[in-house]
């Protein structure tokens, strides 16, 4: 397991921590593998009644590690841990909550669309920068987001790709509850504890029913987006965007 992912199980609640704060919890291929392993552990361990994902430090996640995008562009098969993670995430049968502080960018934002409840600090920001990076949305965001917030809103968020506050995400239905900065995890744990008191079989059956109508379409879109994403990683547009990020001047 990657040192940058920590999974703990206490009192029926599994917490999965994205623990790479020096890189704003950017996710590497090893971390995707470890995230899948943690979710598989959560699914198979009968002690786990609910899973909570959060980021160490001040941010949820700055998305895929951009330096690794360059490596994947050279060896596209390297992308498989990402696809395995997205499938595991989208099929996760137990309740999955996210606690968001700071930035939630790229897959740090699209993974929220698969969570059953999202709790966020008011001034956190979400961003889907795919098109600016020369790639396309992933994690079935192009299926899920229009259904969640309406087509035009989804187009703006996914194609213009500008960052927006959690306060707006709350207004348009992407976040369940807002809180002050630094309180997202404790708020999430309060709800996780409530959920852990409910009859687990009835909870699992209810989640299955709620997700049922979209399940097949989500799986198809994950694969379709994944194919296009992989091709786009090799495009000149993506190459230019990744180089620009990786060679930008440091702020201090």
Contact flag: residue 106 with ligand COA (CB under 6 A): yes
Contact predicate 60/26, CB 8 Å = no
Is 148 buried (19+), middle (13-18) or exposed (0-12) by CB count in 10 A? Answer: middle
Beta-carbon contacts of 2 under 8 Å, excluding residues fewer than 6 positions away, are 28, 30, 31, 33, 34
User: Tokens standing for 189?
Assistant: 């744990």
Contact flag: residue 101 with ligand COA (CB under 6 A): no
Q: Give the H/E segment covering residue 238.
A: helix 236-246
Contact flag: residue 67 with ligand COA (CB under 6 A): yes
- Our CB check for ligand COA shows the closer of 151 and 245 to be 245
Determine which residue in the list 24, 114, 157, 232 makes contact with ligand COA, applying CB under 6 A.
Answer: 24
Determine which residue in the list 16, 42, 103, 154 makes contact with ligand COA, applying CB under 6 A.
Answer: 103
CB of 37 to ligand COA, least distance (A): 21
Determine which residue in the list 64, 90, 120, 124 makes contact with ligand COA, applying CB under 6 A.
Answer: 64
Contact flag: residue 250 with ligand COA (CB under 6 A): yes
Beta-carbon contacts of 238 under 8 Å, excluding residues fewer than 6 positions away, are 69, 73, 133, 134, 135, 232
Q: Tell me which residues in 40-59 interact with ligand COA (CB under 6 A).
A: none
Contact flag: residue 233 with ligand COA (CB under 6 A): no
- Our CB check for ligand COA shows the closer of 155 and 245 to be 245
CA gap 211, 2 in Å, rounded: 30
Contact flag: residue 105 with ligand COA (CB under 6 A): yes
Size, binding site for ligand COA by CB under 6 A: 18
Nearest to 84 by CA among 40, 41, 115: 40
CB of 171 to ligand COA, least distance (A): 22
Nearest to 68 by CA among 233, 232, 198: 233
Determine which residue in the list 42, 55, 63, 81 makes contact with ligand COA, applying CB under 6 A.
Answer: 63
Determine which residue in the list 49, 52, 66, 100 makes contact with ligand COA, applying CB under 6 A.
Answer: 66
Q: Tell me which residues in 116-155 interact with ligand COA (CB under 6 A).
A: 129-130, 133
Q: Tell me which residues in 200-229 interact with ligand COA (CB under 6 A).
A: none
CA gap 128, 63 in Å, rounded: 9
In the chain, % helix, strand, coil (3-state, to 5) comes to 55, 15, 30
Q: Which residues bind ligand COA (CB under 6 A)?
A: 23-24, 26, 62-67, 103, 105-106, 129-130, 133, 245, 250-251
């Amino acid at each position: 397991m990657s040192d940058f992912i920590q999974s703990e199980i206490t009192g029926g609640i599994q917490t999965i921590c994205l623990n790479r704060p020096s890189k704003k919890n950017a996710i590497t291929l090893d971390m995707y593998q470890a995230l899948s392993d943690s979710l598989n552990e959560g699914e198979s361990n009968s002690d786990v009644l609910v899973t909570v994902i959060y980021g160490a430090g001040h941010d949820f996640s700055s998305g895929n590690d951009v330096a690794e995008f360059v490596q994947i562009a050279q060896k596209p098969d390297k992308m498989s841990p990402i696809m395995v993670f997205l499938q595991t995430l989208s099929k996760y049968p137990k309740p999955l909550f996210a606690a968001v502080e700071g930035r939630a960018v790229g897959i740090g934002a699209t993974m929220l669309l698969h969570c059953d409840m999202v709790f966020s600090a008011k001034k956190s920001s979400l961003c889907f920068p795919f098109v600016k990076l020369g790639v396309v949305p992933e994690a079935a965001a192009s299926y899920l987001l229009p259904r969640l917030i309406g087509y035009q809103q989804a187009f703006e968020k996914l194609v213009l790709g500008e960052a927006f506050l959690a306060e707006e995400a709350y207004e348009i239905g992407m976040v369940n509850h807002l809180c002050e900065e630094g309180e997202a995890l404790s708020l999430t744990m309060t709800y996780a504890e409530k959920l852990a008191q409910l009859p687990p079989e009835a909870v699992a059956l209810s989640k299955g029913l709620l997700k049922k109508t979209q399940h097949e379409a989500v799986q198809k879109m994950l694969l379709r987006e994944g194919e296009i994403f992989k091709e786009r990683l090799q495009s000149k547009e993506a190459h230019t965007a990744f180089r620009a990020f990786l060679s930008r001047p440091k702020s201090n």
